[in-house]
């Protein structure tokens, strides 16, 4: 496969996955902001969605406070934010356009229709639709894209690069979700936990459709270490880092067993397999998440170098 085609498929998948995960992140934070007396009303929880100084400065160059309306607009519709839902769908559409010769007409039609609907939207349209309904719509469209690809694409290299982009992006976004709620993982005893922590952890689990899975595995109410263990280390949790690395390693092994990116992915997976949640908490969850994100960024660059001739 040509390197440019592989690159387009890889980033098409990443942008679509990123749009869905932003909707999940915003939806969970918005749900918590509706709790009486919760600190999200002051903008604290909304500010925590910005994981680096660059994002924070870009936002504050346009707005003065971290309000629900401002942050939702910035991450959902701002055309100047390359990671907004609108920008991600637009970028994915351009990648689909460039690779229409290996994709089906159904995928182009579904993403083009979504772009035509979100392109003219303003925050007023989200309010009229309802914030929850808007985030649900984004997730449904993402599931539609994934279903069309899975149901119509030949199981060749094109399909492999789409899956590779999906799981690398999903792993990165799981770390972002955990980092945004890191405050609630620092209080690890029943005495320290508050009602807000209980609802925050439950909301986090629901935002990745993992609440039922948590109850099936751990039985009781959400606890910080168990929630972190589920989303980091459990191989049967669809959005856990372990599951994402399992899939990434399988895909890369099929594509090229001896590639440098394959060895890097195998090393990342080995650290997850041998990981223990108590050890992670002792060394610092924030540090663990930051290190994983750095390794995931490096893996993405190495994938492009190895397969797409991008240096």
Q: What pLDDT shows up at residue 193?
A: 53
Residue located via tokens 């397999």: 273
Distance CA 190, CA 224 (A): 10
The proportion of the chain whose per-residue pLDDT surpasses 90, expressed as a percent, equals 71
pLDDT at 186 over 80: no
Distance CA 10, CA 4 (A): 10
Give the distance between the most distant pair of CA atoms in the chain. 59
Residue located via tokens 């229709």: 113
C-alpha angle 48-49-55 in degrees, rounded to nearest 5: 105
| Tens-digit pLDDT profile for residues 235-275 | 999 999 999 999 999 999 999 989 999 999 999 999 999 99
Q: How far is CA 125 from CA 74, 134, 184, in A?
A: 14, 9, 33
Task: Give the residue ranges of DSSP H helices in 99-130.
Answer: 105-118, 123-129
Whole-number mean pLDDT of the chain?
89
Give the pLDDT band (50/70/90) at residue 80. Answer: very high
Q: What pLDDT shows up at residue 187?
A: 56
pLDDT at 192 over 80: no
The proportion of the chain whose per-residue pLDDT surpasses 70, expressed as a percent, equals 91
Q: How far is CA 208 from CA 216, 227, 239, in A?
A: 15, 12, 7
pLDDT at 31 over 70: yes
pLDDT at 13 over 80: yes
Distance CA 66, CA 53 (A): 14
User: What is the average pLDDT across 192-216?
Assistant: 80
| Tens-digit pLDDT profile for residues 88-142 | 999 999 999 999 888 889 999 999 999 999 999 999 999 999 999 999 999 999 9
CB atoms within 10 A of CB 45: 24
Give the pLDDT band (50/70/90) at residue 190. Answer: very low
Between 220 and 9, residue with greater pLDDT: 9
Q: Which residues contact 124 (CB under 8 A, 6 or more apart)?
A: none
Distance CA 97, CA 73 (A): 27
Q: What pLDDT shows up at residue 195?
A: 58
Tokens describing residue 57: 């400065």
Closest CA to 111 of 86, 78, 131, 79: 86
Q: What pLDDT shows up at residue 118?
A: 97
Distance CA 111, CA 268 (A): 33
Q: What pLDDT shows up at residue 198?
A: 73
Between 118 and 224, residue with greater pLDDT: 118
Measured in whole angstroms, how far is the alpha carbon of residue 34 from the centre of its chain? 23
Q: Contact, 7 vs 304, CB < 8 A?
A: yes
Between 224 and 87, residue with greater pLDDT: 87
| Tens-digit pLDDT profile for residues 35-50 | 765 544 457 779 888 8
pLDDT at 81 over 50: yes
């Amino acid at each position: 496969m040509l390197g440019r085609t592989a690159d387009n498929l890889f980033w098409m998948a990443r942008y679509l996955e990123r749009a869905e995960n932003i909707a999940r992140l915003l939806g969970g934070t918005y749900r918590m902001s509706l709790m009486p007396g919760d600190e999200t009303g002051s903008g604290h929880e909304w500010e925590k969605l910005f994981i680096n100084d660059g994002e924070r400065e870009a936002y504050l160059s346009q707005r003065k406070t971290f309000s629900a309306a401002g942050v939702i607009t910035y991450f959902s519709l701002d055309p100047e934010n390359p990671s907004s839902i609108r920008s991600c769908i637009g970028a994915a559409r351009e990648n689909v356009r460039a690779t229409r010769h290996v994709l089906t007409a159904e995928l182009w039609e579904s993403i083009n229709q979504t772009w035509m609907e979100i392109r003219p939207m303003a925050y007023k349209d989200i309010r009229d639709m309802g914030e929850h309904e808007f985030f649900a719509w984004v997730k449904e469209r993402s599931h539609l894209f994934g279903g069309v690809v899975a149901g119509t694409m030949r199981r060749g290299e094109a399909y492999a690069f789409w899956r590779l982009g999906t799981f690398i992006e999903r792993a990165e976004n799981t770390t972002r979700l955990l980092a945004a709620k890191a405050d609630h993982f620092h209080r690890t005893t029943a005495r320290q936990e508050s009602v807000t922590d209980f609802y925050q952890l439950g909301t986090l689990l629901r935002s990745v459709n993992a609440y039922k899975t948590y109850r099936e595995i751990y039985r009781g109410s959400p606890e910080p270490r168990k929630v972190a263990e589920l989303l980091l280390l459990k191989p049967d949790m669809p959005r856990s880092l372990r599951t994402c690395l399992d899939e990434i390693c399988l895909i890369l092994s099929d594509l090229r067993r001896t590639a440098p990116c394959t060895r890097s992915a195998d090393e990342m997976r080995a650290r997850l397999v041998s990981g223990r949640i108590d050890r992670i908490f002792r060394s610092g969850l924030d540090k663990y998440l930051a290190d994983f994100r750095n390794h995931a960024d490096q893996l993405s660059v190495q994938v492009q170098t190895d397969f797409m001739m991008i240096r």
